Structure 1
Amino acid sequence: MLISKASIYGYKNLKQIDLSFNRLVIFIGENNSGKSNLLRAITLPFVNNEIGSVNKNLGWHEINNDLKRNYFDFIEENLDRIKSADLPLEEFQEQIPYVSVKVAFTPEGADEYFVHKWISSINDEILYEIEYHFNVANPAELLQHITQILSDKTATEIKNIQINLLPIEMYQYSINIPSIKEPVAFNDLINFKYNSLSAERDDFSNRNTQLGSQALVKLLHNKLGNEQKVKVEESYGNFFNDLKTVSDLDNVFNWQESTEIDNAKDFFSKITLMPNMPSISSLLNNVKLGIGDEYLHTQGLGYRNLVYLLVMINSLEINQDIALNLLTLEEPEAHLCINNERLLASFINSILNKSNKTQLFISTHSSEFLNKLELKNVTIVKEGAAFSLKAVTEQADLDYLSKKFNLDFLKFLYSRKCILVEGPSEEMLIKAYLNQQYNSLNDIEVLSIHKGFTTMLDIWLKVNHGTTHRIGIIRDFDNQPKAQQRHENYNQYKNVLVTTTTEYTLEPEFVKTEDNYEKLKTYFIEEHGWNEEELKTAEDLSNKWRGAKTDTMLRFCQDIGTDYLKDITLPNHIEKVLKFLQSGVKE
């Protein structure tokens, strides 16, 4: 069993999203793009595993701002009709913002039993769906309410009373079967549960007196049955009795028993100490975790986070009575070193392969959780929109990305300014040049991928459509005019610039740029010991440089900005891309 599709409408910055899912779903995107909102929205139709967490009513600010803005604009435009009670209820009702999360299931074998009541469609294939709906329960009451409020108001005053014009108290949530609009029975829904591990877990076991995590306290609480809770209470009673015996407190409190005042007992009854049994949660919250012979709170923040995640993920109980257990995990890489990221990623993969009743949704900024062989699991999130790679990219293109062993996928997709180059020489050169620009800040990412720029650009354009991100391609001519034309056709897009050397490769282009030849000649003779007789022409220097080892280019890059290379001029095709990325203007 798994959630195969989800449609989200009106939740926070997610105005309208339709997605397809696998058993593992990885959301990637920039900060504030909507990844956390997606994780939260997906869980709204389901039952939380944590104790007492069943309220699914939302807050006013969790309703999409665009929908609210449209609603208030409608009120302003129809203010006179509202005041005169001439606005039809049906027309008003269409403008009221609401939140909807519709999920579709793909059962496997006998799991169809859990969803057989939720049939939404039987056209090409049977579709099983449920929907979380958060809306105004009585639109007529809301219309009457705003009519009274606006009776003496002008259009300019509406923006100051928005919360009163859309009171959250009039909203209620429901979980229904979309096709028949009937409520989903709780007894059926209880078979679908979720756990959420948010990114805000830095306080875990940070205190030296308490467990430090409500999630872990609830986990321990859930593991205690009635019989175990009775044993805890009995143990507390035994502890208390031992405490009284050891401390001999009877003689302290019951002074009247041993006083010389004859009638003291007539005025004071015997004082006894009674056990004040705290709640189970209070007892559990005062447990301390240890790692080996040391308390966990003495360990580093990253290690505490790793232990916390491993324990919580491992706690997912999968049995034959449950249909699906969802886990949403936000930024699992937080505070982890690279080795522990890999360890956690391996553990997650192991957990998923053990059961077909678990589905995991992860949001991450780390490429360690992106298996390049499974890019179909990746969903791109940007500015409140989202789409899965498998939905917009051909399998052949995904296979192409998988074979780019040295490609940092996240840097490629999300760098605000990115340069793709053909080899390490160009990559080292551009990075060295940028490092010498002490008077300006830059956020340019340089990636070497050798060949295949057109496929990369097709994917990049789909992900970055409508953004202000820019990408530059720096390539060698290689005596291939048709390839040059094919690549430079992408210059039709305002956020792409492809440039090509006029010479065969980078080295001759560099040597023949302005007066670089004399400077480079002097540099290589003085610093590398090259024979002057072999460098009589620019062509001689170009050929020798091209045939040199990579170490020569590395040292050259390290020397940029010093002595002979202080006033060196970058080749025009590189200079154009750098200026474009910094200004957005194509020369």
Structure 2
Amino acid sequence: MEIKRLNISNWQNIRYLEIEFEKLLILIGESNRGKTNILKGLSAIFGNYEIKDSDFKDKNIPIEIKIKFYTNEKGFFSLKLLKKIGEENKYFILSHGKEIKISLNQIKNKFINLNGIIVSSKENGIYEALNQIKSILILKNKDEKIIKELDSKLQYIKNNFLSQSLQRKIFFGFLKNILNNIEKYKVNLKNQLSDIFLIFEEPELHLGPQESREMYSLLIKLSKIGVQIVIETHSSYFVGLKEYKSICLIKKIKNEINLFQHTGELFNGDEIKKFNMNYWINPDRGEMFFAKKVILVEGQTDKIALSYLAKKLNIYNYNYSIVECGSKSIIPQFIKILNAYRIPYIAVYDKDNHKWRNETELENSNLKNKSIRRLINKYIGDFIEFENDIEEEIYQEERERKNYKNKPYYTLQKISDEEYSIPLKLEEKIRKIYK
């Protein structure tokens, strides 16, 4: 059984939201933007959260939460929860154009074959999650070895009153141990985990960078063997650009909760290969989903110089993220993602019309420049074009091809000189970038 869509109306600080679900769904956004409210809405429709009067955004209209499911046996059908102030919860099953009123017990017995596990950020969140996993596996009468391992970990946590940090490391170790033996457990695991729905709050808590990256990889593996997972995170380690379809960005605009996701294809042909290769070279670019504004640059020299000069001008903004795209030809792919999620950005690139370039090189450069400008959504993004590159503007002289060895080092050496004065034309561009 798989959740395909969630609709929420009049719930807490949410007027209306519709979320398309993937096997892995990543909820991101600033604090107090609605992520936790979405998770509570999921708990409410399954009867695991008691709706209070304070949960109504508008007390004059009902709360409505609806989930669309898919199963191999029944195909598509929806479960709807309707709640009015002072009245009991009402449940309906919607299938093949018919709406049938039904009790929560009937739903669980006849329709919903989902086993929920919540890994909360509370003090006893890990202990409760491991207990939930154990209960599910016992009900399914499956692998005793896994159950014994769970018993051992639960007993250890109970007897030693461990900190949240150590408990999370134990949970991490449990997942790692199971999935590292995936070939051994392959068939059994798929049968045991295919109807599990995992909600994981802030998986990054108490994990270092390396462990966070590995935990994210483990969650992807879990989703691929059948577990449907929703994570709420503030960490870029749990946001991979390769899995952009899983990302659900939540923002508050004019005091209203808005949701941005893109479940279609952003790239085609050679773009897919180039983007995936670029992702593996620089996997930390998920940071851009947490930025107030993204500054797209070609390479390392631009990233170093812009940061340094902005600090020198006292306009550097820590809420902005500089994303090194690797080359000019990759910038359009990042623009597509930023347009899709409506994240403010500015694309900064070199015109590359140096006098020493031949006709073919100039034509190629100009085609790339046009492809960047053509993709800019003027309501979200902008562009800055260096003439012909940032080095020429820093040095205020035409640069020869031979001058481009060790660019980052010599550029930083130049701009960090106490006597260096930023040219007015370059200063204007930097101020526009950090506007």
* CA-to-aligned-CA distance 1:401-443 (integer Å, 9 cap, x gap): 4333226443223311321111111111112223445687653
TM-score by length of structure 2 reads 0.74
Aligned to 2:230: 361
Match of 1:191 among 113, 116, 139: 113
Matches within 5 A, 1:233-252: none
Q: Which residue of 2 aligns with 1:500?
A: 385
Q: Distance in 1 between matches of 2:393 and 2:191?
A: 68
1:463 equivalent to 2:341? Answer yes
Cα shift readout 1:455-479 (whole Å, capped 9, x = no counterpart):
3223212312xxxx64222211123
- Structure with larger Rg: 1
Query: Which whole-Å CA distance do the structure 1 matches of 2:345 and 2:423 have between them?
Result: 19
Change (3 A) 1:492 1:311: closer
Is 1:307 the counterpart of 2:170? The answer is yes
CA distance in 2, matches of 1:413, 1:308: 27
2: CA distance between counterparts of 1:440 and 1:173?
A: 51
Q: 1:21 to 1:436 in 2, by over 3 A?
A: same
Deviation at 1:361, TM superposition (A): 1.1
**d(CA) in 2 for partners of 1:481 and 1:311?**
53
1:180 alignment counterpart: 99
Match of 2:243 in 1: 374
Letter in 1 for 2:430: L
8 Å CA contact 1:57–1:173 kept in 2: the answer is: no
Q: Does 1:389 align with 2:262?
A: yes
1:323-338 map, 5 Å: 324-338=195-209
Go from structure 1 to structure 2 and tell me whether the alpha carbon gap of 1:188 and 1:391 turns closer, same or farther (over 3 Å shift).
same
CA distance in 1, matches of 2:385, 2:79: 54
Distance in 2 between the 1:434 and 1:334 partners? Answer: 32
Q: How does 1:473-512 map to 2 (within 5 A)?
A: 473-479=347-353, 480-481=365-366, 483-488=368-373, 493-502=378-387, 504-512=388-396
2:134 and 2:284 map into 1 onto residues whose CA distance is 40
Q: Give, in angstroms, the shift of residue 333 of structure 1.
A: 0.6
Q: Does 1:24 align with 2:24?
A: yes
Identify which of 64, 67, 77 aligns with 1:103. 67
Structure 2 residue matching 1:102: 3-state secondary structure: strand
Correspondence 1:156-555 to 2 at 5 A: 170-178=86-94, 179-184=98-103, 185=106, 186-188=108-110, 191-198=113-120, 200-201=121-122, 203-204=123-124, 289=157, 295=160, 297=162, 301-308=164-171, 324-354=195-225, 356=226, 358-383=227-252, 384-391=257-264, 393=266, 401-405=275-279, 406=282, 408-437=284-313, 442-449=318-325, 450-451=327-328, 452-464=330-342, 470-479=344-353, 480-481=365-366, 483-488=368-373, 493-502=378-387, 504-512=388-396, 538-539=397-398, 542-543=399-400, 546-550=403-407, 553-554=408-409
Alpha-carbon spacing, 1:171–1:387, altered in 2? closer, same or farther (3 Å): farther
Q: CA 1:24 to 1:433, structure 2 compared with 1: closer, same or farther past 3 Å?
A: same
Residue identity in the other structure for 1:369: F
Distance 1:325 1:544, change over 3 A: closer
Alignment partner for residue 52 of structure 2, among 49, 56, 59? 59
* TM-score of the pair, normalised by structure 1: 0.57
The letter of the residue matching 1:579 is: R
Aligned-pair RMSD on alpha carbons?
A: 3.9
Relative distance call for 1:182 and 1:510 in structure 2 (3 A) is same
Question: What amino acid maps onto 1:458 in structure 2?
Answer: K
Asked whether the equivalents of residues 5 and 20 of structure 1 are also in contact (C-alpha less than 8 Å), the reply is yes
Match of 2:419 among 553, 564, 579: 564
* Cα pair distance change 1:6/1:310, threshold 3 Å: farther
Rounded Cα–Cα distance in structure 2 between residues aligned with 1:391 and 1:400: 18
CA distance, structure 2, for counterparts of residue 322 and residue 483 of structure 1: 47
Aligned residues: 387
Once the two structures are TM-superposed, the CA of residue 55 in structure 1 deviates from its matched residue by 5.7
Question: What are the superposed Cα offsets for residues 318-354 of structure 1, whole Å, 9 maximum, x if unpaired?
Answer: 8979983211111101121012213323433444444
Unpaired runs of 5+ residues, structure 1, are 47-53, 72-95, 117-125, 137-169, 206-211, 226-285, 513-537
- Residues 29 and 382 of structure 1 are in contact (CA less than 8 Å); yes or no, is this contact kept in structure 2? yes
Distance 1:579 1:456 in 2: 22
**CA 1:438 to 1:188, structure 2 compared with 1: closer, same or farther past 3 Å?**
same
Q: Deviations over 1:165-202 (max 9, x none)?
A: xxxxx13212211332321414225633312222x33x
- Write the letter of the residue equivalent to 2:166: Y
Distance 1:438 1:579 in 2: 10
Whether the 8 Å CA contact 2:240–2:283 is kept in 1: the answer is no
Cα distance in structure 2, aligned partners of 1:549 and 1:377: 39
**SS at the partner of 1:427?**
helix
| Kept in 1: contact 2:315–2:431 (CA 8 A) | no
506 and 347 in structure 1: CA distance in 2 versus 1, 3 angstrom threshold: closer
| C-alpha distance 510-220 of structure 1, shift in aligned 2 (>3 A) | closer
Helix, strand or coil for the counterpart of 1:44?
helix
Distance in 2 separating the partners of 1:496 and 1:224: 53
2-structure distance, mates of 1:576, 1:543? 25
Which range moves more in the overlay, 126-135 or 420-429? Answer: 126-135
Shift of 1:100: 1.7
Q: State the alpha-carbon separation in 2 of the partners of residues 23 and 408 from structure 1.
A: 22
- Between the aligned partners of 2:265 and 2:18, the Cα distance in structure 1 is 13
Cα shift at 1:287: 6.8
Q: What SS does structure 2 have at the residue aligned with 1:172?
A: coil
Q: Distance in 2 between matches of 1:486 and 1:191?
A: 49
Tell me, which stretches of 5 or more residues in structure 2 are unaligned?
140-153, 179-187, 354-364
How far, CA to CA, are the matches of 2:70 and 2:136 in structure 1? 29
**% of aligned pairs identical?**
17
